[in-house]
Amino acid sequence: MDSRLKETWESCVKCGICRSVCPVFKEEKSEPYVARGHITLLSELVSGNVDFSEYEAKDYLYKCLLCTTCVEACPNNSETDTIVEIARHEVIKHHGLPLYKKIMAILLKDRALMDFAFRNATLFSSFLFKRNDDSSRASLKTKFETPIMEKGRLIPKLTKKTFLQKYKDYSDNYGYLSLFPGCLINYTYTEIGDAFVNILKKLDISFRVPQKQLCCGAPVYFAGNFEDAAILARKNIDLFSRVNSRYIIVMEPTCASMIKNDYPKLFMYLEDKEYEKKARDLAKKVLDPVKFLYDNTDILDRLKHLDMKTTYHDPCHLKRAQNIKDEPRAFIKKASNFTEMKEADRCCGNGGTFSIDYRETSLKIASRKVEHIENSKADYLVTGCSACIMQLSEILHRHEDDHIKTIHTLELIDMALDGGNNEG
């Protein structure tokens, strides 16, 4: 086991500050589900006092959103997220992965297979799902109970043409920017990617969409499956190191954080120095789309004011992992009537497969946001992450708040660049 891990758990002074901020602890009220508990558990596991094969160890280590709220609050900068990720890697050596995560890893490593699976899912979607156009964002509702989803769960509608297919003609052009949409925008929320493309066209900024890009690997990495995550990471690093664009715009905050922060960590852990260096070099070119627009264009001055009442939710991997919080707010304030909600940076509870594995806890965490959203009196909940849009539109639907629409910051910027009443 890595000596850096030992340093991390020794840095924890057991002050308990993480208990006051952890969204999972707030629901579970149990020490093993908080950062301090994870750190203690891992030190016990490594010392051999607790057996990795015990079920409880597995459950405790997976019931964490990796939201890094505890890392931000910790006075000693204990990197609990790293501890949990590495511990999960140890856990799967003993327990293996659940079947659906094994299938997910196979699909994510092969674009053609993934496209095939989604094409078929689209064909059969009317059998499994019904349309739900009334919710906070158009979506599908499961008709039946399935092994990984309960009846009545909302999922994003599936796109007929993926983002990569839509912009196939832009694959080989020179582009000042190279675009990395991420799986959710590629297969479901393509309209968010379209909004960014619209903005780039209006600003006359050239871009390309490399076709051979794969999933960033976050879903497998966060499951502890470092081997498959490394396969995906190496392919993306090789592809994007070759493109001659100034920036690689990664539209999903989780993917951006994975490429910028977790690729170097992953290769450091696997002791692959060649790819660790390549990952660090690539990280310098990775940028969030809203941050790019804020830092590199005059678009803020060009936005019109729209007659919309908005509030904003900070995605964990945008605010905490990339320190991007003021830039989206600057755009939203210019384009609409903005009210800051309470606890805007509180995790929405999605956490990728956390929302499948620990559905009840995930929904309880999301429910805590509803009151703050309602109190803001906003008609539009704006955020910068598709996974948050998926989670929050579902929880608003469950609370009969479908009149509050969930939109992406890029969609608001695109609308405000088109028109508005110019009062701002």
User: Residues interacting with ligand SF4, by CB under 6 A?
Assistant: 12-18, 21-24, 34-36, 38-39, 64-70, 74, 76, 78, 80-81
- Shortest distance in whole angstroms from residue 77 CB to ligand SF4: 8
- Smallest distance, ligand SF4 to C-beta of residue 175, A: 36
Nearest distance, CB of residue 355 and ligand SF4, angstroms: 13
d(CA 6, CA 349): 29
- Between 69 and 245, whose beta carbon lies closer to ligand SF4? 69
Give the count of beta carbons closer than 10 Å to the beta carbon of residue 31.
15
Q: How far is the CB of 45 from ligand SF4 (least distance, A)?
A: 16
The burial class, CB within 10 Å (0-12 / 13-18 / 19+), for 167 is buried
Q: Specify the residue, 69 or 310, whose C-beta has the smaller distance to ligand SF4.
A: 69
Structure tokens belonging to residue 263 = 């690729």
Of 323, 340, 335, which Cα lies nearest the Cα of 375? Answer: 340
Shortest distance in whole angstroms from residue 258 CB to ligand SF4: 15
Could you tell me the smallest distance in angstroms from the CB atom of residue 15 to ligand SF4? 4
Q: What is d(CA 363, CA 53) in angstroms, rounded to the nearest whole number?
A: 29
Q: How far apart are CA 41 and CA 46, in angstroms?
A: 9
Q: Least CB distance from residue 19 to ligand SF4, whole Å?
A: 7
Minimum distance of ligand SF4 from residue 27's CB (angstroms)? 10
Tell the smallest beta-carbon distance from residue 1 to ligand SF4 (Å): 19
Gyration radius (Cα) of the chain, Å: 21
Of 34 and 185, nearer to ligand SF4 (C-beta) is: 34
Whichever of 199 and 395 has its CB closer to ligand SF4, that residue is 395
Of 358 and 380, which has the nearer Cβ to ligand SF4?
A: 358
Cβ nearer to ligand SF4, comparing 29 with 130: 29
Query: In terms of C-beta density within 10 A (0-12 exposed, 13-18 middle, 19 or more buried), how is residue 359 classed?
Result: middle
**Residue placing its CB nearer to ligand SF4 in the complex, 164 or 365:** 365
Are 250 and 256 contacting, i.e. CB atoms less than 8 angstroms apart? yes
* Cβ burial 68-78 (10 Å sphere, 16+ → b, else e): bbbbeebeeeb
